[in-house]
Amino acid sequence: MTASLSCVLAGENALLAECASRWLEKGHRIIALIAPDPELRAWARRRNIPALARFDELEPALDGAPFDYLFSISNLRLVPQRLLTLPRRLAVNFHDALLPRHAGLHATSWALLASPVEKSPVEHGVTWHVMTEAADEGDILLQRGFTVDADETAYSLNIKCFQAGADSFAELTDLLAAGGERRVPQNLGLRTYHGRHDVLPDGGLLRWSRDGAALHALVRATCFGPHPNRLGTAKAVGPGEILTVAESRLSRSRSGLRPGTVVSVDGDGITVATGGGDLTLGGFALPDAEPVTPLQLAARWGLERGRLLPEPDDEAVGELVAQLTATRADEAYWVRRLAGLRPMDLCHRGAVTAPAAVGRLDLTTAAPPGLASIRPGDRAGALLAAVLLYLARTAGEDEADIGFRAAQHAADARLFAAAVPLRLPVPEPGLGFADYCVAVADAVAAADKRVGFLRDVRSRYPVLRKVPGPHGLPIVVRIGAADTEQVGGGTAEILVSPTGDRCVWRLSADRIAADAAEALRADFGAFLRALADAPHDVAAVPLLSGSRRQLVLDRWNATGADYPRDRCVPDLIARQARRRPEAVAVVSDGGTLTYRGLQERSDRLAVALADRGVEPGDLVGVHLRRSADLVVGLLGVMKAGAAYVPLDPVYPPDRIRAMLADAGARLVVTNGGPTSPWKGVLPELCLDRLPQGVVVPSPYAARPDGLAYVIYTSGSTGRPKGVRVGHRALVNFLCSMAGSPGCTADDRLLAVTTVCFDIAGLELFLPLISGGSTELVPERTATDGFALRKRIRVSRPTLMQATPATWRMLIAAGWDGEPGLRALCGGEALPPDLAAGLLTRCAQLWNLYGPTETTIWSSAVRLGPGDRITLGRPIANTRCYVRDAQGRPLPPYVPGELYIGGDGVADGYHARPELTAEKFTSDELAGTGRLYRTGDLVRYLADGRLEYLNRIDDQVKLHGYRIELGEIEAALTGHGGVARAVVVVREDVPGDRRLVAYLVPSASGLPGAATLRGHLARLLPGYMVPALFVPLVEIPVTRNGKVDRKALPVPPVDAGTGQAGPRPQDGAQAAVAAIWRRVLRRDDIGADDNFFDAGGSSLLIVEVISNLNSEFGVDLASVDMFRNPTVRSMATHLSALAGVGPMVSATAYGRRLDRSLIHRRRNRP
Residue 401 confidence (pLDDT): 93
pTM of the model: 0.78
CA distance 788 to 668: 30
Give the CATH fold of the 344-543 domain.
Answer: Chloramphenicol Acetyltransferase (3.30.559)
Give CATH 3.30.300.30 domain extents, the chain: 955-1047
In the sheet where 475-479 sits, what is the strand order? 360-366, 502-508, 492-496, 475-479, 401-404, 420-423
Burial of 250 (0-12, 13-18, 19+ CB in 10 A): middle
Residues in the chain predicted with pLDDT less than 50, given as ranges, are: 1, 355-357, 1058, 1140-1165
> How far apart, in Å, are the Cα atoms of 625 and each of 577, 617, 672, 678?
24, 24, 11, 16
Distance from chain centroid for Cα 358 = 35
Helix (H, G, I), strand (E, B) or coil at 611: helix
Give CATH 1.10.1200.10 domain extents, the chain: 1067-1162
**Quick one: which of 293, 334, 600, 619 has its CA closest to 458?**
334
CA distance 43 to 84: 25
Classify domain 6-194 at the CATH superfamily level.
Formyl transferase, N-terminal domain (3.40.50.170)
**Quick one: which of 942, 941, 1028, 944 has its CA closest to 981?**
1028
* pLDDT tens-digit map of 1022-1070: 778 898 899 988 888 665 556 787 788 888 755 555 455 678 877 788 8
Give CATH 3.40.50.12780 domain extents, the chain: 569-863
Residue 870 confidence (pLDDT): 96
Give CATH 3.40.50.170 domain extents, the chain: 6-194
Per DSSP bridges, beta strands 291-292 and 277-285 are antiparallel
**What is the chain's length?**
1165
Residue 1159 confidence (pLDDT): 35
Angle at CA of residue 766, ends 763 and 771, nearest 5°: 120
Class of domain 1067-1162: mainly alpha
Residue 483 confidence (pLDDT): 61
Angle at CA of residue 817, ends 814 and 823, nearest 5°: 120
Distance from chain centroid for Cα 265 = 42
- The dihedral built from the CA positions of residue 856, 862, 867 and 873, taken in this order, carries a sign that is negative
CATH architecture of 955-1047: 2-Layer Sandwich (3.30)
Q: Does domain 201-212+227-312 have CATH number 2.60.40.420?
A: no
CA distance 256 to 250: 14
Q: Does domain 569-863 have CATH number 3.30.420.40?
A: no
Cis peptide before 468 (omega within 30 of 0): no
CA distance 439 to 419: 20
Burial of 1080 (0-12, 13-18, 19+ CB in 10 A): buried
What are the backbone angles phi and psi of residue 602, rounded to the nearest 5°? -70, -35
Residue 961 confidence (pLDDT): 72
CA distance 425 to 428: 9
**CB-side neighbour CA atoms (13 Å) of 247:** 14
